């Protein structure tokens, strides 16, 4: 029995079934490469789901964490605060868009950050309603899953959701939902479902992650900003997956020249260490009562040290520009494959920066989803040494999230594997259909 098979057996007996896992058991990793328990090498185009934007074990991040570990690993910021947290807050206040005074609080996970942003919005406005969007993913906590715009598996079997959480359609040209239609339905919601004066905030991912890497059009984000301003509603940008240079900007909402009242971030912030943050208008962040936000592990010193190093690396290695370069190369390769005869299964290629997805369909006339082909491509790529991920409300999109530090040689190798995996899976489906 291989090491991997032995670990699979142990996992099935010891770990909760609801914790979804892949069949790759990691033993070590470096930048864009990962080796499993049996020594098989993979190029990692998942990056821990957009966490390792600076690659696995970036040397500068590892040094920063080691130095912090020599000083202290935990005091609880509520008990004995420390300079690193304050310095990181200052840097995030400066980095997020918006020409206004800002403040920051830190927690541990993206879901925690979302929860705290909602608490701040409700405390500041005195309102309780929250509007999210179809296809959204905002976490697996009670409030997080209520905000999610995808039922299976995030809401399925978990009972009643918190009240006054509504969903508007996310505009998606590929699926025939225009910006005008989405805005019209929002307007109707204010007439038929909830008084806008009861809405504390709208929360939106500038590029939907789990929902399928659907990109919010700049005009839609600008229209939401105006709508929020007209009704005294706060705009929350969920940048958990899109932030920290992933899309070619530090934050994806910058592509629309829009400033949110609150920006939620996590994943890529600390280079593989658990850390999240809410940064926003000082008066909004300060609306929560003293002691009403935070947590025992919130802003862990090791993760904060890592995050400060991550921000240095992004600046020193110009990773925003590199994200754009990587994304352009991925999209160009996928467009080339999609244009070939017999590749009608690739219905759409989309994304911003190094956050790219392609959607698989049975045919381009109907755009009916083909989740079986999608799974086959992911499995074929894994067999050939490339880690990629599924996404989309119809489970028919493949998402690509390479580290922004991926060497060109590894990027080229990964794209060759991806192309051959798509061809092999499509050909296998065609043969089976004959």
Cα separation, 322 vs 78, in Å, equals 38
Strand 397-400 to strand 389-391: parallel, antiparallel, or no bridges (unpaired)? antiparallel
Write down the domain spans for the chain: 3-57+318-433, 72-316
What values do phi and psi take at 28, rounded to 5? -160, 165
Per-residue b/e over 212-244, b at no fewer than 16 CB within 10 Å?
Answer: bbbbbbeebbebbbebbeeeebbbbbbbbbbbb
Strand 386-387 to strand 41-44: parallel, antiparallel, or no bridges (unpaired)? parallel
Cα separation, 394 vs 391, in Å, equals 8
Cα separation, 326 vs 333, in Å, equals 11
Cα separation, 172 vs 149, in Å, equals 14
**Residue that is written with structure tokens 């959701």 in the block:** 161
The DSSP-derived string for 184-205 is HHHHHHHHHT--GGGEEEEEE-
Q: Would you say 207 and 214 are in contact if contact means Cβ atoms under 8 Å apart?
A: yes
Q: Would you say 418 and 388 are in contact if contact means Cβ atoms under 8 Å apart?
A: yes
pLDDT for residue 27: 98
Cite the DSSP H helix spans in 297-342.
301-316, 319-338
Nearest one of 26, 55, 202 to 117, comparing CA atoms: 202
Q: Would you say 228 and 10 are in contact if contact means Cβ atoms under 8 Å apart?
A: no
What is the pLDDT tens value at each position of the chain, 434 positions in all? 899 999 999 999 999 999 999 999 999 999 999 999 999 999 999 999 999 999 999 999 999 999 999 999 999 999 999 999 999 999 999 999 999 999 999 999 999 999 999 999 999 999 999 999 999 999 999 999 999 988 888 888 888 888 999 999 999 989 889 999 999 999 999 999 999 999 999 999 999 999 999 999 999 999 999 999 999 999 999 999 999 999 999 999 999 999 999 999 999 999 999 999 999 999 999 999 999 999 999 999 999 999 999 999 999 999 999 999 999 999 999 999 999 988 999 999 999 999 999 999 999 988 999 999 999 999 999 999 999 999 999 999 999 999 999 999 999 999 999 999 999 999 887 676 65
Indicate the CATH number of 3-57+318-433 among 3.90.1150.10, 3.90.1200.10, 3.10.20.440, 3.10.50.40: 3.90.1150.10
Please report, to the nearest 10 degrees, the dihedral formed by the alpha carbons of residues 408, 409, 410, 412 taken in order: 80
Tell me the torsion sign for CA atoms 272, 256, 189, 128. Answer: positive
The DSSP-derived string for 120-146 is HHHHHHS--EEEEETT----SSHHHHH
Bridge partners of 99, per DSSP, are none
* Planar angle of CA 33, 35, 39, nearest 5 degrees: 145
For the domain spanning 72-316, the CATH number is 3.40.640.10
**Residue that is written with structure tokens 């490339």 in the block:** 386
Residue 404: CB partners within 8 Å, gap ≥ 6?
53, 54, 55, 245, 246, 314, 319, 322, 323, 326, 354
pLDDT for residue 432: 67
Bridge partners of 133, per DSSP, are 168
Residue 357: CB partners within 8 Å, gap ≥ 6?
212, 213, 349, 350, 351, 391, 392, 397, 398, 399, 400
Strand 165-168 to strand 129-133: parallel, antiparallel, or no bridges (unpaired)? parallel
**Residue that is written with structure tokens 């998606």 in the block:** 172
Count the residues in the chain. 434
pLDDT for residue 99: 97
Residue 245: Cβ-neighbour burial (10 angstroms; 0-12, 13-18, 19+): buried
Q: Would you say 154 and 20 are in contact if contact means Cβ atoms under 8 Å apart?
A: no
pLDDT for residue 302: 98
The 10 Å Cβ neighbour count of residue 123 is 18
Bridge partners of 236, per DSSP, are 203, 262
**Range 20-23, long-range pairs (CB < 8 A, 24+ positions):** 20/153, 22/382, 22/387, 23/382
């Amino acid at each position: 029995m291989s090491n991997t098979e032995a670990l699979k057996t142990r996992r099935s007996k010891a770990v909760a079934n609801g914790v979804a896992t892949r069949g790759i058991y990691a033993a070590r990793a470096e930048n864009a490469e990962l080796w499993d328990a049996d020594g098989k090498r993979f190029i990692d185009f998942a990056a821990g789901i957009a966490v390792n934007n600076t690659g696995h074990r970036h040397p500068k991040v590892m040094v920063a964490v080691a130095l912090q570990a020599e000083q202290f690993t935990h005091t609880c910021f509520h008990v004995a605060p420390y300079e690193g947290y304050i310095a990181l807050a200052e840097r995030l206040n400066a980095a997020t868009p918006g020409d206004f005074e800002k403040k920051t609080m830190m927690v541990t996970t993206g879901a925690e950050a979302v929860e705290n942003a909602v608490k701040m919005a409700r405390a500041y406005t005195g309102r309780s309603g929250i509007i999210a969007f179809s296809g959204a993913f905002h976490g697996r906590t009670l409030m997080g899953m209520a905000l999610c715009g995808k039922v299976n598996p995030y809401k399925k079997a978990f009972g009643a959701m918190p009240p006054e959480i509504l969903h508007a359609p996310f505009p998606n040209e590929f699926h025939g939902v225009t910006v005008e239609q989405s805005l019209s339905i929002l307007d109707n919601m204010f007439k038929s479902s909830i008084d806008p004066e009861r809405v504390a905030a709208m929360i939106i991912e500038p590029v939907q992650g789990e929902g399928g890497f659907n990109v919010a059009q700049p005009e839609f984000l600008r229209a939401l900003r105006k709508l929020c301003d007209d009704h005294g509603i706060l705009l929350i940008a969920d940048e958990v997956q899109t932030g920290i240079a992933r899309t070619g900007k530090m934050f994806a909402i910058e592509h629309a020249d829009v400033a949110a009242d609150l920006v939620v971030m996590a994943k890529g912030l600390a280079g593989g260490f658990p850390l999240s943050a809410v940064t926003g208008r000082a008066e909004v962040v300060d609306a929560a009562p003293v002691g009403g936000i935070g947590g025992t592990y919130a802003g862990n010193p090791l993760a904060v040290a890592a995050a400060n190093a991550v921000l240095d690396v992004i600046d020193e290695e110009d990773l925003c520009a590199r994200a754009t370069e990587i994304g352009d190369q991925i999209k160009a390769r996928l467009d080339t494959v999609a244009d070939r005869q017999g590749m009608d299964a690739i219905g759409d290629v989309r994304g911003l920066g190094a956050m790219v997805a392609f959607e698989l369909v049975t045919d381009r006339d109907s755009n009916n989803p083909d989740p079986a082909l999608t799974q086959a491509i992911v499995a074929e790529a894994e067999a050939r040494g490339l880690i990629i991920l599924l996404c989309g409300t119809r489970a028919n999109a493949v998402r690509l999230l390479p580290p922004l530090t991926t060497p060109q040689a590894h990027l080229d190798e990964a794209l060759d594997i991806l192309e051959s995996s798509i061809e092999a899976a499509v050909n296998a489906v065609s043969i089976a259909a004959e």
